[in-house]
Structure 1
Amino acid sequence: MTTTNQASGRNGRAWAMLMLAGAFEIGYALSVAGSRAFSVLNWSIAAAVFFLLTLYALSVALKTIDVGIGYAVWAGIGSVGAALFGKVLLNQPLTLIQLGWLAVIISGVVWLKLADSSVFRARRQPG
């Protein structure tokens, strides 16, 4: 494997870890909601576990991905996921306007990922 392929592989694994961190963040947000201010033991334990998992996965991803980009993507995944799953699992309201703004967040996350891709990196490199 060449150096470029190794860097590409590390970057791919970092993005996969960032997606996993986002999934754990969704679990954390939903568990906190279910814990009712940490007064329900099972939900509170789940929240603590998801919290530790999301922080670990995020920290691994941020070894490769710039912190500003990684944090924005992680927060975007958590926000959108918590809103959508909150609607489905917790019967929380979600209006058409809110869905529109969630689509803006998703678009931003996709563009941040594209901006970090090797195609865009090659265009930014001089020479």
Structure 2
Amino acid sequence: MSWFLLVISGFLETAWAVALERSQGFTKPVPSAVFAVAIVLSMLGLGLALREIPVGTGYAVWVGIGAVGTALIGMIWLGEPANIARIVCLVLIVAGVVGLKVFH
């Protein structure tokens, strides 16, 4: 259950990061509200997951999921550059996250 919570919390990190950008400095109410709800739920899930997962592993996995998810959304939907070097770097992050899970 802890790993499930951690993964969901990582996806919520992606949601709050994108909502933060879309809020345009908290001037747009809907993305600002999405940001607030997503960050609270993300932190709550991370905190609960860390009851059973070591903090170094849990935090690294949470950040990795959030970073990869945010970068992919940026490249796919927000027009950020998508080149082979960026994709290779994202694959390396995913490999690190998987490695942390496997060697937990």
Q: What TM-score do the two structures reach when normalised by structure 1?
A: 0.79
Question: What are the equivalent positions in structure 2 for 1:85-100 lying under 5 Å apart?
Answer: 85-100=73-88
Q: Which residue of 2 aligns with 1:38?
A: 26
Question: What are the equivalent positions in structure 2 for 1:105-116 lying under 5 Å apart?
Answer: 105-116=93-104
| 1:41 CA displacement | 1.1
**Misfit runs of 4+, over 6 Å:** none
**How large is the Cα RMSD of the aligned pairs?**
0.9
Q: Which residue of 1 aligns with 2:42?
A: 54
Please give the alpha-carbon distance, in whole angstroms, between the structure 1 residues aligned to 2:9 and 2:96.
18
| Matched-pair identity in % | 38
| 1:47 CA displacement | 0.5
Q: What is the aligned residue count?
A: 104
> Which has the higher relative contact order, 1 or 2, with Cα contacts under 8 A spaced 6 or more apart?
2
Q: Deviations over 1:77-100 (max 9, x none)?
A: 000000001222222222211111
The unaligned stretches of length 5 or more in structure 2 are: none
Amino acid paired to 1:53: L
The unaligned stretches of length 5 or more in structure 1 are: 1-12, 117-127
Question: Larger deviation: 72-81 or 94-103?
Answer: 94-103
